[in-house]
Structure 1
């Protein structure tokens, strides 16, 4: 039973609040989850820590073209997530809940008007998810979740590096995972997030809804090491409401690789991934969209 429980540590879907530089136009940044992200774990209490660095190579406009000059930036984040899967069921699914506390350190350098630097650090907007539902079959898993990003962090409309967004977001999650073989050594998964935003009080603008899909194709070796291809595709589905600088809709696309290893006796899993963004376009509220590379580490502990 211990081995069965810890094998599911790799399949905790997540959502981390990070600055505008990473999320399409909301709170959830693509690339936080990769291999096996669409399966909920068994009953128990779980902690997952996310440590990642995002290096901005360039900033793009609404057509996806880089703006002139040497523009760059860095986002460092450490997010703490607690997941409690109860022993109760609903609609035939295991029921659980979660909360996330992100810590951010952001800096952007723009090569315009003699050079401008923006930076901020602190605790980001908090997430509370009262609903996690997980269904499990012999060779498949499915997950639905719902929660809200609360407007709790400091926000400055004149600072693109603000750790807060200035608005809240309701996030709906739906995902699935399929194992190609009975031993579950090969798998493919997809996890989607849909965000519905509230009005940004400082500007009076309500960002348009957004949708993203994180996907992965993984293979677990006999020694327990899992390797695979990962990526994400994210789109803003509707323009920001009246008052936004333009009616453009943001999007981001990336591909990368991931490796993970599980220590069943300790109830610990460590995963690492690298993503390269090959396309990014800005939306109306943001005006500019970053394009860069992400390095992510995840540490999961089952109690």
Structure 2
């Protein structure tokens, strides 16, 4: 069925790229997946390219208040993700695996740090996910995935714009999607990530566990265009071990998304905009950015 392929293309949402600037003390950046993100694709090999621009409006402290001065920053990212869904099944689910190679360009201008500018660019920490499990029902889909962000990129504890995190993260994913009607024109979805970190290089700090939920409510028009409301909510669940403070990071945003599928070319293009309306810092970073994200996704059947 054509629409099933549209949903699966829209949904390759079992992982994403690493963003030191605005992940909640982890590798996974909120807002990378949106509508229909909790369904695994059918058997085959897929490529997805993520192009993202994040603009910082201000930096907040542990209470969520903006710090004084003219503080700004940008993150530009292009991530290459490859997904292979096999013809095997496990626990009644389709089985697959994935890998992600992120490329980052980060720049901060911080009055709060004495007017200093910080920059870095290069390949970020690599992700390998040996487990993707996808279940499919008549009007529902569910996904579980597990993988690890490896500490492979350059990290400098003195540079807040470092493309590397300086630690590894094991990430567990669980999500679901429900179609309100048999024609599958309306759907609601939620995709959650849980990250467990290792000790950071050179600092001796171990970031606390974090949890993030991306959600979406979408409607597919008769011409195939899908439109919807999207958002994310992220929390640091444990204080960073041996950090200067016991503050825990938090981040919330809402936005809109549009997507379209060209079946003859096996290509889907999606775009989204997110506005963050609340953010507070954790102990490891001391400050948390609050800003706006523009995201484009290109997905191709290989």
Q: Into which bin does the TM-score normalised by the smaller protein fall?
A: over 0.9
Equivalent residues in 2 for 1:27-66, closer than 5 Å: 27-66=27-66
Q: Which string of whole-angstrom CA distances, capped at 9 and with x for unpartnered residues, describes residues 62-90 of structure 1? A: 00000000100000000000000001000
Shift of 1:145: 0.1
- Distance in 2 of aligned mates of 1:55 and 1:30: 14
- Distance in 2 of aligned mates of 1:89 and 1:228: 32
**Is this contact kept in 2: 1:18–1:77, CA < 8 A?**
no
- Distance in 2 of aligned mates of 1:128 and 1:106: 23
**Is this contact kept in 1: 2:19–2:28, CA < 8 A?**
no
What is aligned with 1:256?
255
What is aligned with 2:287?
288
Aligned length in residues = 302
Q: Which string of whole-angstrom CA distances, capped at 9 and with x for unpartnered residues, describes residues 153-174 of structure 1? A: 0000000000000000000000
- Distance in 1 of aligned mates of 2:7 and 2:192: 22
Shift of 1:16: 2.7
**Secondary structure class of the residue paired with 1:69:** coil
**Secondary structure class of the residue paired with 1:247:** coil
Closer, same or farther in 2 for the Cα pair 1:236/1:3, shift >3 Å? closer
Quote the RMSD (CA, aligned, Å).
Answer: 1.1
What is aligned with 2:218?
218
Shift of 1:14: 4.1
- Distance in 2 of aligned mates of 1:154 and 1:245: 24
**Secondary structure class of the residue paired with 1:8:** helix
**Is this contact kept in 1: 2:50–2:297, CA < 8 A?**
yes
Shift of 1:7: 4.4
Closer, same or farther in 2 for the Cα pair 1:207/1:38, shift >3 Å? same
Equivalent residues in 2 for 1:92-103, closer than 5 Å: 92-103=92-103
- Distance in 1 of aligned mates of 2:93 and 2:60: 42
What is aligned with 1:237?
237
Shift of 1:237: 0.1
- Distance in 1 of aligned mates of 2:245 and 2:5: 49
Q: Normalized against structure 1, the TM-score is what?
A: 0.98
What is aligned with 2:89?
89
Q: Which string of whole-angstrom CA distances, capped at 9 and with x for unpartnered residues, describes residues 73-120 of structure 1? A: 000000000000001000000000000000000000011465110000
Closer, same or farther in 2 for the Cα pair 1:114/1:4, shift >3 Å? closer
Closer, same or farther in 2 for the Cα pair 1:273/1:113, shift >3 Å? closer
- Distance in 2 of aligned mates of 1:122 and 1:116: 21
- Distance in 2 of aligned mates of 1:38 and 1:97: 15
- Distance in 1 of aligned mates of 2:269 and 2:190: 20
**Is this contact kept in 2: 1:253–1:277, CA < 8 A?**
yes
Q: Normalized against structure 2, the TM-score is what?
A: 0.98
Unpaired runs of 5+ residues, structure 2, are none
**Secondary structure class of the residue paired with 1:107:** strand
**Is this contact kept in 2: 1:6–1:302, CA < 8 A?**
no
What is aligned with 1:147?
147
- Distance in 2 of aligned mates of 1:41 and 1:109: 41
Shift of 1:11: 1.1
